[in-house]
Amino acid sequence: MNSSPGDLHRRNFLRGSAVAALAIFGGGALAACTSAVSQQRGGDDNAQPVRGGTLKYGVLVDLVPANLLTNTGTTPYVVGLVFETLVRYPHDKFEPQPLLAKSWTVAPDGKSITLDLRDDVKFHSGRPFTSKDVEFSLRTYADPKWSGQLKSTAAAITGIDSSDPHRVTLTLAHPLSNLFDLLDTVPILDSESIDQLGTGEKIVGTGPFRFTQRIPNQQLVFEKNPNYWVPDRPYLDRVEITIIPDNQAQLNALKTGQIHLADGVTYRDNENLAKTDGYRVITYEGAEIEIYVGANVADPVLSDVRLRQAIAYAVDRERIIAEVFRGAGYAANLPWPKNSPAFDAARNTRYSRDVAKAKQILAQLPKPPKIPLTYNTALSAYEATAQIVQANLAEVGIEVELTPTDNATFVKQLIGAQFPGLWITDHSWAQFVPSTLTVSAYPFNARKNASHFESPAYVAAADAAWQLPQSTGPDAIRAYQALSDQLLDSLFLIEIGVRYSQGSASRKLHGFNWTKRRELALTEAFLA
């Protein structure tokens, strides 16, 4: 490689619709501004809540309204502002806390759950929230047209009793070890505006902020919900999400006071920012994601598991975590983060880097033709990772051709299983109950996945973990070990490692929080 990952992070100061961001901010938006920088440095960690103000957030990619029930791109930020769920997990454990559901009772056989609902909640339209909205939301989420990752779990709900407006009972086809993952994930939707949700014309929920405006590829605007059920919240009057698709432009906008929060500052720049007065780097603990190499096993070359094993031995995971992600993560062979009940240190090192072993395997195979390696251009770290993987594979005798792809097209290819060869991206969901990953996530779904991988043994292992009444305990551990063995033996996905997502913020911002899906949780946020 001729370019280091650091060089890749600093491509083109402004490109594409970053020019539109300049227009939104004003003519001198990205110029140095002493007063703006001084304002960024206002406030300290002991600041008292302040009412009012507009939080300005720079993001890399625009919202794709049709993907609002997925966990892709900018969706989590919008969902966190506008919508709420029945329960919410804390960052560090699978112990659901009340949200729109006040309390619940799970039947002894694990085949039903009754939830008591809040009676003081209204949609942004003013309509009261009731059990009928729970029923509508769960059934909508189960509809394949919305591509919700947990739709198979939603579809396992065989009956919904919503006769009491403030109580709902869900009957299940079988026990669900990830039932609360579903209840933490499905946003409560407004049936009256659902036809306009997928187009982005109306996004109506019960959350702390109301959606008011969208300028495609430029900006999304949200205003305080004046009838929010949490007394005297939120503190902020307004949130503006501006699309700034260039890493360096986001960093400059943050430093010059044009935004308070950024989602696309590179790991290398965040290292420096964390040492700079007036800024903080937010590590989304509990919302870990994993970067991986995917393989289309329907391709005749990649169909041979021995070639995939050679790739797994060739990839320099430690280098990628150290250089691209600046140590904010750790190498892994399996998808589970260290705080998962499925984490297994012994199994997690089966494919440690071994160039000699990779070459030995390849010596038994015909020389493979050049293989396309697709990556998403939305994040410079994907390109840096792809270049390291390209060099690793070339070292053992596998030639790949890098195929940069815009975000919207990449997500479409992922959901539609349309990658021609290899691809690099992140996956989520492993930070939840382990069974959620293998019955839900596009790359891992045992019945239909982006790799076209099919295996009765993998389906059986996924179902066994999914249909347990508990997500922890000896039976669960054995089920997760069986799942891990299936993943290591088949290698239709080749894990690189866990990485911690990061946000970059002015120290003016306080009370910032997130969910396990990195959804914005700004009920307590304020600008000092």
What's the whole-number average pLDDT of the chain?
Answer: 91
Q: Tokens 């957030």 sit at which residue?
A: 57
Q: Hunting for tokens 């869900």 — which residue is that?
A: 170
- Count other Cβ atoms within 10 Å, centred on residue 288: 25
Q: pLDDT by residue (tens digit) across 91-130?
A: 888 899 999 999 999 999 999 999 999 999 999 999 999 9
**DSSP string for 289-337:** EEEEEEE-TTSTTTTSHHHHHHHHHH--HHHIIIIISTTSEEE-SSS--
pLDDT in tens, 318-332: 999 999 999 999 999
Q: Tell me the pLDDT tens digit for each residue of 174-224.
A: 999 999 999 999 999 999 999 999 999 999 999 999 999 999 999 999 999
Decide if pLDDT at 24 tops 60.
Answer: no
Instruction: For residue 335, give Cα distances in angstroms to 267, 342, 491.
Output: 21, 9, 12
Q: 45 pLDDT band (50/70/90 cuts)?
A: low
Mean pLDDT calculated for residue range 232-246: 97
pLDDT band per the 50, 70, 90 thresholds, residue 71: confident
pLDDT at 93: 87
* Six-digit token string for 404: 């940069």
More confident residue, 9 or 98: 98
pLDDT of residue 468 exceeding 50: yes
> Tens digit of pLDDT for each residue in 259-304?
999 999 999 999 999 999 999 999 999 999 999 999 999 999 999 9
Between the CA of residue 94 and those of 244, 286, 338, 341, 433, what are the distances in Å?
A: 34, 10, 14, 10, 7
30 pLDDT higher than 60: no
Q: What does DSSP say about strands 509-510 and 261-262: parallel, antiparallel, or unpaired? A: unpaired
Q: Average pLDDT in the 492-517 region?
A: 96
How confident is the model at residue 25, as a pLDDT?
A: 43
**The pLDDT of residue 442:** 87
pLDDT of 10 strictly over 50: no
Q: List all residues 6 or more positions away from 241 whose beta carbon is below 8 Å from its beta carbon.
A: 57, 58, 59, 74, 77, 78, 219, 220, 221, 222
- pLDDT tens sequence across 341-398: 999 999 999 999 999 999 999 999 999 999 999 999 988 899 999 999 999 999 999 9
Give the pLDDT band (50/70/90) at residue 44: low
pLDDT at position 26: 41
Kind and range of the H or E element at 375? strand 371-376
| DSSP E strand stretches across 82-147 | 87-88, 97-98, 101-106, 112-117
Is the pLDDT at 226 greater than 50, yes or no? yes
Phi then psi for residue 29, to 5 deg, are: -55, -45
**Which tokens in the block code for residue 12?**
């083109």
Distance between CA 366 and CA 348 in Å, rounded? 29
Question: Quick one: tokens of 462?
Answer: 């996924």
